[in-house]
Amino acid sequence: MKLYKMIFKNLKLILRLIKITTIMAKYDCLFLLDHLGVGFLPKLVARFVLPKPLKSVKGLRVGQRLSKALQELGPSFIKFGQTWSTRPDLIGNSFADDLAELRDRLPPFEIENVRQIIKESFEKDIEEIFLNFDTRPVAAASIAQVHFAKTISGQEVAVKVLRPGIEKAFKQDIDLFKWLASIINRTQSYAERLKPLEIIKKFEETSLLEMDLSIEAAAASELNENFDDCDFYYVPKVYWGLTSRRVLTTERVNGYSIGDKNKLIEEGVELETVVENLLKSFLIQVFRDGFFHADLHPGNLFADQKGRIIPVDFGIMGRMDVKNRKYLAELMFAFLTKDYEKVANIHFDAGYVPSTQSKQSFALACRAIGESVLGKPAHEVSIGNLLYRLLRTTEYFKMETQPQLLLLQKTLVVAEGVARNIDPNLILWEKAQNIIENWLRENINFKMKTEETIKMSLERINKVPRIIDNLDSILKQFSEEKEKQASNLSIMKEINSKSSFKLNHWLIHILLFIIILFVLFNK
């Protein structure tokens, strides 16, 4: 029975692979067979049997052709292509840029499916929840589509509904991806560095999270709290009573797409304010909060009449701990001030570059990166490109790859593109330098020292009970022996004195910890 199931499963995978290969052939993407270790003869047969490339793809770059093929293959492949677009360190900048152009758009699914999903989620008909519900979706993507509605209590909302059958379809394609990855692992020398199976598993994990709309709701809620009472960045409120794993309901917001520059001008929105608020809000998310919106294409960003930024779609978020924020802030500031020795020291001190590597050679490589990027006219300088060039050095210096920095780099490139579309003469690095310098001065030294002090104090506090127990044992032991040796009386006094000193030392740390907490909570 197990053998039958295995044969049937592999047969399904092979049939699916034939369909995929046919579509790849249409867009002249059979070069992928080389990376699967397919021999010369099968590739030759494939070129004769499979359809000829479409005339419309002639003259397109490889990445552009692949992007079109993935678009036709559907949701899982669109998402997979978007994932690869965040790894320019592996596939190259040009290829990554082409895959980033993948548009996550599909034909909308029927309103009957929407009704059914809402009823299953809340055990109520759609009419019992919403006063009115627009049957035409305002957006339809691979995972979900969005409808505008008004609740019974009168709130204007946006309702995001998971695409029916998406989880089953995704599971089938993931099985295929894993199968192909296992072939690559066995046949290709680059697999050891690329680790295709690990990439597929990570893709599976993040995509499954994205298919749980309650996780997206939590991300929106956290971002909303981070910018509570902010006058330049507004995150729509989540309606938790109308949110489930397959339905996400948020406040409907009004604004103009940041990608529509002409509309912004027509409506009298101050473009300089929009750009300023976009960059400021993004850098605050990265450095102050360590939690940032990582899908900043123009369709997810709006601006209101005052130039306030309004983000939507919180399915892809990035997170950075204090150590990585400190590393990034110091790194960018050192690059922007052209202190390449400092750049090298930051990497070696953090342990990202092995100590066996040459610090002088690494500093020289950083100079080559910095001068080539920062030596351009001010309005052409790209911080995202600077980070990309740095990440490309990982292979040469055995540098530890930081996945969160890869996501940040790609997000920063998109944010820069959006900002420069609005203002082509934007001098981005000046604005970034001011914000980073202020943040380093006002936050990092105090925060890092405070966290280190708290950590040390907590460690000491945890040791107090054990120390006191040990102290009691020592005192008891000497108390029993004092009758035998009169000279022990003087020893007891000395030990009691030293023990009191140690106990006072620990009490000072406890008091210090309480004072620090008081300062932090009353800051």
Residue numbers annotated as active site: 295
H helices of 104-163, in order, are: 111-122, 126-129
Q: Which helix (H) or strand (E) holds 62?
A: helix 62-73
- Secondary structure (3-state) at 52: coil
CA distances from 89 to 127, 317, 363, 385 (A): 50, 20, 19, 11
Q: How far apart are the first and last CA of the chain?
A: 67
In whole angstroms, give the CA distance from residue 455 to residue 317.
28
Q: Which long-range contacts (CB under 8 A, 24 or more apart) does 443-449 make?
A: 443/287, 443/288, 444/325, 444/326, 444/329, 444/330, 447/322, 448/322, 448/326
261 by Cβ neighbours in 10 Å (0-12 / 13-18 / 19+) ranks as middle
Degrees to nearest 5, angle at CA 391 with 385 and 394: 155
| Sign (positive or negative) of CA dihedral 353, 292, 389, 32 | positive
In whole angstroms, give the CA distance from residue 210 to residue 99.
19
What single string gives the DSSP state of each residue in 304-373? -TT--EEE---SSEEE--HHHHHHHHHHHHHHHTT-HHHHHHHHHHHTSS-TTS-HHHHHHHHHHHHHHH
393 close to 369: Cβ distance less than 8 angstroms:
yes
Can you read off the two tokens belonging to residue 294?
A: 């990582």
Closest CA to 238 of 212, 213, 211, 217: 217
* Those residues with Cβ within 8 angstroms of residue 100's Cβ, 6 or more apart along the chain or in another chain: 82, 85, 410, 414
